[in-house]
Every structure is written in structure tokens, then in C-alpha cells.
């Protein structure tokens, strides 16, 4: 089977559109579930060893290429909340337009190892995207791939997508931290404290972004712990009127705080929780910070530019014999830049913990 046909098989399995054909006697003559099982059997022995190295590379490539094509609808809405996200050809040239009225002195670009600063002159109206090589890792368990190839294949594709989003978000948080230090985000739009005051959130950060976005609701992207902390503080807010604590505690807000699995509004800001599950058996670790959040102004002026050059590729796929799992290193060429600090805010509440 050539790779084009294998690729179509991967798409059908991931999207749960598997085909099965029978002959006139009712015997199965073509089955996607059998095809993926055979593919796994060609890759691994029943003892979990690599049967064929070339087949092993093809199988890992299939996981990554399926995530490139079939999982994009999951990625696009998430990244669109944070910035302007697009995909282009691997060797395309991309030029970002700098808004005429924007007071930008510095462009911050995420690299594989840190952050690069590029100074922008007052009259500059264009900034080229930098296609940097980034790399992240995921793994899948060999025993589960052998015993349940259909579901574990889908899981492996989802692992790639989830870690790609987390990788980009971590880079964005790194850019934001550097921008705060460099003063590229207006002071009123940065809230850092042990116990962030909800009225500071409203009067400083939120009001600034509402004005910047011409009345369009800002969007906050943060861990549910930080969102919940701010939501609860609304219950005791007094809008600056002493003795009027709890004046915002409507029945709707009370029910939301008590019963909603996800809080969707903080004051006048739409709240979107990050997907940040526990990563250990003790429920003590997560991948993303629980006490930091981004607040993005509404409207069409995205602070971040996220450009993906080409598609993800498998850089390395080696079995971990001790843990009986395959560790894949995945390469991707991207530009992740912060160009418009005025269009965002940053919240860090050190009193919020896991």
C-alpha cells in the first residue's frame, strides 16, 4: 500500500468514517479496522519490538500527517482566540503589517530556545515573519497500540494536537512575560499581585481593552483556577462604593459560581479556560501555569501573529524499551510574534495555586 492510501486510511480512522465491505456471502473483504491492525502488526512484534524500521517510520509519519490534516479544525478556533493564526507554504515569505497608529518599538519572536527582540523604527509599517524551527515531544504506548490500534491511533493523533497547542501557548506566555518586563504592555493592563483586586481588573485592565477594542468584549484565556478566583471576587465587589459589597451578586451570578462547570464571564470579559489536565498520578502537576492569564482586546487587532510554515514532521521516533513506549520528536517551522502589546493584558495572581 502506498503512503497516499495509508494516509486516507488514517483520516478515515481518526474521523470515525471507517469503511467495511462484504461480499455476496456476507464475508468481510475490506475493513479499515483490519487494515490498521495489519499496519501495526507490520510495525511491531507481539512482544513490542520493532519489526521493520522503515515501516516504523511510516507509521509515525502517518500519526503526524493525520494530525496535520484532520485535527486542524480543533486547533484553529483555539489559536484564533489568542492571535492571528494562519498556515502557509514551507518556504513562503510572510510580511506582517504594522498598524499606522500603533506605538510599537519592539517585536518579540519566540525561538526554539527563548525570545528574540527586534527593534521597530517609528515609521516602519512592515515586519517580516521569521520561520523558526521548533520542536516538541509526544509518546504513545506500544502495548495499547497493539491491543487496541483503532482507538490508540486516534489517541496518538490527539496527543500531537494537544501538545502542539500547549507548546504554542507556552511560547506565547513566554513572549508575554518578556513584554511585561520590557514595558511593551501598558502598565494599566498588567495586574500582578497576591490576590488581584477585581476592581483593578475592571477599572484598569478591562476598561482599557474595551476602549481599545471600541466596545467589543475582551477575551480572557487562563486556567480555570484563576478564572474561578476572579469570578468569586465578583460576589464581594462594591464598584468602589463602600458598604455596597455584594452589589453584583445577582441570582444569575450566584447560580453560575455555585453550579457552572466553566465560568464564561468575568465582569464584561468573556472567559475561556485552557485545557490543562493533571500530568501525574498524584494530581499535583499540570503543563500550563494556573495563576497566569492573557486578556485579548476585542476587534480585529490581534496582538500575536502565529504563522505555520508547512506541516509538522517527525524528527525522531525511538522506542523507550524500559517504558515500552515510542517517543516522537516533532519538528515544526513557525513564527510566533508579539507585535501589538497595546491590544492585550496580563494577569498573574500568586495566591492562586493548583
Closest by Cα among 276, 306, 304, 273 to 288: 276
Tell me which of 28-42, 105-119, 272-286, 321-335 is least confident: 105-119
- What does the mean pLDDT of the chain come to? 87
**Confidence band for 259, pLDDT divided at 50, 70 and 90:** confident
Burial code (b: 16+ CB inside 10 Å, e: under 16) for 61-77 equals bbbbbbbbebbeeebee
**Phi and psi dihedrals of 57, rounded to 5?**
-65, -40
The whole-model pTM stands at 0.87
Q: How many CA atoms lie within 13 A of 72 on its CB side?
A: 13
Strand ranges, E, within the chain: 20-22, 28-31, 83-88, 95-97, 106-110, 115-119, 126-128, 132-141, 190-193, 219-222, 265-266, 269-273, 292-296, 304-320, 325-338, 344-349
pLDDT in tens, 64-99: 999 998 777 878 888 888 889 999 999 999 998 876
The confidence score (pLDDT) of residue 154 equals 96
- Is the pLDDT confidence value at 103 over 60? no
Residues contacting residue 197 through CB under 8 Å, at least 6 positions apart: 191, 233
- How does pLDDT run across 159-218, given as a tens digit for each residue? 999 999 889 999 999 999 999 999 999 999 999 999 999 989 999 999 999 999 999 999
| CA gyration radius, the chain | 24
Residue 255 pLDDT greater than 80, yes or no: no
* Separation between Cα atoms, residue 274 and residue 294, nearest integer Å: 11
Tell me the pLDDT tens digit for each residue of 108-163: 677 776 666 665 555 556 888 999 999 999 999 999 999 999 999 999 999 999 99
> At residue 89, what are phi and psi to the nearest 5 degrees?
-65, 155
Amino acid at each position: 500500500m502506498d503512503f497516499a492510501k495509508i494516509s486516507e486510511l488514517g483520516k478515515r480512522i481518526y474521523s470515525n468514517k471507517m469503511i467495511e465491505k462484504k461480499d455476496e456471502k456476507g464475508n468481510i473483504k475490506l475493513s479499515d479496522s483490519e487494515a490498521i491492525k495489519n499496519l501495526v502488526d507490520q510495525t511491531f512484534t507481539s512482544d513490542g519490538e520493532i519489526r521493520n524500521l522503515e515501516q516504523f517510520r511510516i507509521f509515525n509519519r502517518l500519526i503526524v500527517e493525520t494530525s496535520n490534516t484532520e485535527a486542524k479544525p480543533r486547533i484553529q478556533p483555539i489559536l484564533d482566540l489568542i492571535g492571528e493564526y494562519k498556515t502557509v507554504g514551507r518556504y513562503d515569505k510572510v510580511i506582517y503589517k504594522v498598524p499606522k497608529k500603533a506605538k510599537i518599538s519592539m517585536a518579540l519572536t519566540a525561538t526554539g530556545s527563548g525570545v528574540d527582540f527586534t527593534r521597530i523604527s517609528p515609521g516602519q509599517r512592515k515586519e517580516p515573519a521569521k520561520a523558526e524551527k521548533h520542536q516538541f515531544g509526544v509518546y504513545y504506548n506500544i502495548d495499547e497500540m497493539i491491543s487496541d490500534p483503532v482507538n490508540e491511533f486516534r489517541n496518538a493523533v490527539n496527543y500531537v494536537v494537544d501538545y502542539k497547542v500547549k507548546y504554542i501557548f507556552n511560547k506565547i506566555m513566554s513572549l508575554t512575560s518578556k513584554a511585561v518586563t520590557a514595558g511593551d504592555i501598558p502598565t494599566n493592563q498588567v495586574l500582578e499581585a497576591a490576590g488581584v483586586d477585581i476592581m483593578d481588573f475592571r477599572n484598569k485592565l478591562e476598561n482599557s481593552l474595551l476602549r481599545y477594542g471600541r466596545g467589543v468584549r475582551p477575551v480572557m484565556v487562563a486556567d480555570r483556577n484563576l478564572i474561578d478566583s476572579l469570578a468569586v471576587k465578583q460576589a464581594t465587589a462594591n464598584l468602589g462604593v463602600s458598604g455596597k459589597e455584594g452589589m453584583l451578586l445577582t441570582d444569575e451570578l450566584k447560580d453560575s459560581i455555585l453550579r457552572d462547570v466553566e465560568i464564561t464571564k468575568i465582569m464584561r470579559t468573556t472567559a475561556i479556560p485552557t485545557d490543562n489536565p493533571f500530568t501525574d498520578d498524584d494530581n499535583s502537576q499540570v503543563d500550563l501555569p494556573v495563576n497566569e492569564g492573557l486578556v485579548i482586546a476585542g476587534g480585529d487587532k490581534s496582538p500575536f501573529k502565529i504563522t505555520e510554515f508547512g506541516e509538522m514532521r517527525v524528527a525522531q521516533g525511538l522506542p523507550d524499551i524500559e517504558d515500552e513506549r515510542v517517543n516522537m520528536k516533532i519538528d515544526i517551522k513557525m513564527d510566533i510574534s508579539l507585535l501589538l502589546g497595546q491590544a492585550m493584558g496580563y494577569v498573574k495572581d500568586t495566591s492562586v495555586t493548583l
